[in-house]
């Protein structure tokens, strides 16, 4: 076969492989063609002709399906840029716009240099065309996750959605909604993100783009975890199925990772490990899965294994340029948790510049800032540093009411409040955490909240607080024993020894009601309003509403009258 004929075949074979999601096969075809032409695979040289531009463009699309480290990502963007600039210089605006519509998937929070390609392409795209709408959608994504500019992202997405509706372009509509939903999540707008994903997932399977489906299912599942309404096994399975069909390592690793997080939050450690291993197989160096894998080992007392995972995560930083991507907050978060769980703050301490990379960057996105504060909070608690506890509290306070990377934010806020001597403030956070975790079914976090709350109440020192602490510790002991959480069991035993109490079983309330839910139910049965219950128990009305919602579910009633009847029939007067 002649060289020219071979190059045409290679280009055609690569494009066909892309169409069938055969990413590795496509990559090999495009590399073979570029090597035959003597072209630098890194895209550092301008494309010499149209064929070279097409091969570079093909390689960029194929490589974007891999979970890549920053060196590969830089190469991918360079390849895309060379192909784009060649078409612009050749006066082929349509092809240049087509190239710009296919940017690689980049690690969120990184700096890729894609924005100038988007801006240049927008200037040459036909006004009102679907191509221009797609560029606006990509521009919104880059503005949201690289520049952390949510208002600019919103404006871009509005432009894209308007074009999609004017042109009746269903594909553009769903892709724009998916990108907008991801930006919503990364900026802490979880409910808005979920609403957009629901719009996407109502589209018939025949009309739903597979990559868009993966993005929508990811955002739905991860946002649902954050707000305490975790995805069902069916929803998690649908995400795994879509990612496997697409065959894209990036989405496959996220599908198994999200399912692993849900198992972790439920306390199903073996299932969490199995899913984490599947995620690692798809993306061995992904900081998402390495950070949560260490969490599983810490909860179960496998401290040496957790340390090994942390060292692997820390070692990856040498390959990553300093930027506010997830690698850095992941290291800070795991470092803090390892120090706190083991009771031995790491020495030497993690360099301050590692935490500061996210905290000082104007491009840091809120979701990663929150993870960074979680690590800082644990480290401050491990070291007993009150000033650091104050700083961590101030940073985490705006994330109250969320589950950040499998940690209930209000539990940490309660512990920080206790550490700085404000038990009253901590009480409110602990109560919010109990209600949040009970409703979500996050049993490990519920148990840790019981322990932390007990420690704060005992420091306050009155008899009512002592009785409340005894009940909370009994609940924590039952859960930690059932799930197999040695680190928590040891802390419970230590606290009970301090207060002179044995390891007593928890009170047997009907239908699995907790001590606090019984308190709320008894007051409700007396005709008290939510405001009055909140005042009596020194809670927020929101927390009371959560407790009522939880206990209604447990005792299978629909209203206050039915709840009152249950209380009269099932609860002894002494309770």
Q: Supply the pLDDT for residue 336.
A: 95
State if pTM tops 0.75.
yes
Encoding tokens for residue 24? 């590795």
> Do 497 and 466 meet the contact criterion of CB atoms below 8 Å apart?
no
Q: How sure is the predictor about 263, in pLDDT bands with cuts at 50, 70 and 90?
A: very high
Residue 502 has pLDDT above 50, yes or no: no
DSSP helix/strand/coil, 178: helix
Q: Average pLDDT for residues 443-461, to the nearest whole number?
A: 94
Q: Supply the pLDDT for residue 1.
A: 47
Q: How sure is the predictor about 448, in pLDDT bands with cuts at 50, 70 and 90?
A: very high
Backbone angles phi, psi at 19, to 5 degrees: -60, -30
Q: Supply the pLDDT for residue 574.
A: 46
**Partner residues linked to 404 by β-bridges:** 407
Distance CA 161, CA 150 (A): 16
Strands 407-408 and 403-404: antiparallel
Distance CA 96, CA 84 (A): 5
Q: Supply the pLDDT for residue 447.
A: 97
pLDDT in tens, 373-383: 999 999 999 99
DSSP helix/strand/coil, 479: helix
Average the pLDDT over each of 144-158, 163-177, 319-333, 493-507 and give the range with the smallest value: 493-507
| Percent of the chain whose predicted confidence (pLDDT) is above 70 | 95
Q: How sure is the predictor about 572, in pLDDT bands with cuts at 50, 70 and 90?
A: low
Q: Average pLDDT for residues 118-124, to the nearest whole number?
A: 94
Residue 485 has pLDDT above 80, yes or no: yes
Q: Which residue would you say has higher pLDDT here, 340 or 575?
A: 340
Sketch out the chain's domains with CATH numbers.
Answer: 1-105 (no CATH), 285-395 (no CATH), 516-575 (1.10.10.10)
Backbone angles phi, psi at 408, to 5 degrees: -70, 115
pLDDT in tens, 169-209: 999 999 999 999 999 999 999 999 999 999 999 999 899 99
Neighbours of 131 (CB within 10 A): 21
> Do 416 and 392 meet the contact criterion of CB atoms below 8 Å apart?
yes
Q: Average pLDDT for residues 360-372, to the nearest whole number?
A: 92
The one-character DSSP state at 111 is: -
Helix extents (H) in 64-129: 70-89, 93-100, 114-124
Residue 42 has pLDDT above 90, yes or no: no
Write out the DSSP string of 515-556.
Answer: HHHHHHHHHHHTT--HHHHHHHHT--HHHHHHHHHHHHHHHT
Q: How sure is the predictor about 24, in pLDDT bands with cuts at 50, 70 and 90?
A: confident
Q: Supply the pLDDT for residue 292.
A: 94
* Mean pLDDT computed over every residue of the chain: 90
Average the pLDDT over each of 20-24, 276-280, 362-366 and give the range with the smallest value: 20-24
Distance CA 138, CA 82 (A): 19
> Do 99 and 80 meet the contact criterion of CB atoms below 8 Å apart?
yes
Residue 369 has pLDDT above 70, yes or no: yes
pLDDT in tens, 221-248: 999 999 999 999 999 999 999 999 998 8
pLDDT in tens, 44-101: 778 888 888 888 888 888 877 665 544 567 778 888 888 888 899 999 999 999 988 8
* The residue count for the chain: 575
Q: How sure is the predictor about 421, in pLDDT bands with cuts at 50, 70 and 90?
A: very high
DSSP helix/strand/coil, 403: strand
Q: Supply the pLDDT for residue 69.
A: 46
Residue 359 has pLDDT above 90, yes or no: no
Average the pLDDT over each of 118-132, 222-236, 338-352, 459-473 and give the range with the smallest value: 338-352
Distance CA 99, CA 79 (A): 11
Q: How far is C-alpha 481 from the geometric centre of its chain's CA atoms?
A: 28
Q: How sure is the predictor about 503, in pLDDT bands with cuts at 50, 70 and 90?
A: very low
**Between 150-166 and 170-186, two packed helices, what is the crossing angle to 10 degrees?**
160
Distance CA 473, CA 494 (A): 11
């Amino acid at each position: 076969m002649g060289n020219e004929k071979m190059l045409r075949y290679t280009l055609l074979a690569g494009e066909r492989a892309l169409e069938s999601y055969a990413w590795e096969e496509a990559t090999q075809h495009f590399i073979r063609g570029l090597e035959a032409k003597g072209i630098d695979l890194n895209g550092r040289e301008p494309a010499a002709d149209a064929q070279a531009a097409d091969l570079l463009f093909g390689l960029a699309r194929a490589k974007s399906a891999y979970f890549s480290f920053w060196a590969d990502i830089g190469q991918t963007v360079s390849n895309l840029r060379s192909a784009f600039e060649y078409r612009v210089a050749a006066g082929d605006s349509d092809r240049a716009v087509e190239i710009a519509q296919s940017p690689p998937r980049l690690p969120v929070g990184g700096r890729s240099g894609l924005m100038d390609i988007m801006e240049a392409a927008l200037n040459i795209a036909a006004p009102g065309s679907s191509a221009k709408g797609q560029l606006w959608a990509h521009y919104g994504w880059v503005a949201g996750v690289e520049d952390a500019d949510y208002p600019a992202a919103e404006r871009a997405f509005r432009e894209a959605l308007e074009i999609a509706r004017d042109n009746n372009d269903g594909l553009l509509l769903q892709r724009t909604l998916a990108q907008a939903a991801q930006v919503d999540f990364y900026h802490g707008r979880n409910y808005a993100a979920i609403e957009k994903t629901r719009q996407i997932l109502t589209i018939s399977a025949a009309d739903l783009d597979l990559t868009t489906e993966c993005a929508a299912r990811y955002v739905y599942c991860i946002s649902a975890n954050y707000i305490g309404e975790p995805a069902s096994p069916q929803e998690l399975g649908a995400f795994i199925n879509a990612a496997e069909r697409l065959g894209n390592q990036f989405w496959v690793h996220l599908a198994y990772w999200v399912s692993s997080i849900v198992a972790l939050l439920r306390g199903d450690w073996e299932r969490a490990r199995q899913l984490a291993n599947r995620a690692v197989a798809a993306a061995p160096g992904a900081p998402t899965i390495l950070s949560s894998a260490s969490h599983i080992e810490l909860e179960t007392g496998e401290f040496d294994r957790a340390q090994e995972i942390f060292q692997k995560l820390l070692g990856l930083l040498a390959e990553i340029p300093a930027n506010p991507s997830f690698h850095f907050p992941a290291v800070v978060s795991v470092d803090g948790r390892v120090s706190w769980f083991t009771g031995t703050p790491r020495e030497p301490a993690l360099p301050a510049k590692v935490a500061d990379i996210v905290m000082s960057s104007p491009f840091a996105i809120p979701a990663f800032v929150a993870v960074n504060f979680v690590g800082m909070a644990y480290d401050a608690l491990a070291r007993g540093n009150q000033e650091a506890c104050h700083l961590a509290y101030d940073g985490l306070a705006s994330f109250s009411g969320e589950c950040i990377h499998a940690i209930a934010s209000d539990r940490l806020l309660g512990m920080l409040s206790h550490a700085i001597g404000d038990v009253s403030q901590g009480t409110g956070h602990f109560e919010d955490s109990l209600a949040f975790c009970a409703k979500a079914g996050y049993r490990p976090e519920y148990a840790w909240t019981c322990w932390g709350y007990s420690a704060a109440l005992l420091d306050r020192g009155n008899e009512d607080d002592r009785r409340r602490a005894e009940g909370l510790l009994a609940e924590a002991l039952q859960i930690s024993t059932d799930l197999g959480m040695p680190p928590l069991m040891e802390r419970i035993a230590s606290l009970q020894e301090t207060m002179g109490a044995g390891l007593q079983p928890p009170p047997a309330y009907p239908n699995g009601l907790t001590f606090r839910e019984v308190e709320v139910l008894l007051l409700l049965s007396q005709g008290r309003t939510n405001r009055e219950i909140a005042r009596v128990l020194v809670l927020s009305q929101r927390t009371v509403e959560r407790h009522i919602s939880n206990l209604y579910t447990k005792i299978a009633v629909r209203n206050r009258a039915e709840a009152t009847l249950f209380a009269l029939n099932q609860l002894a007067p002494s309770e």
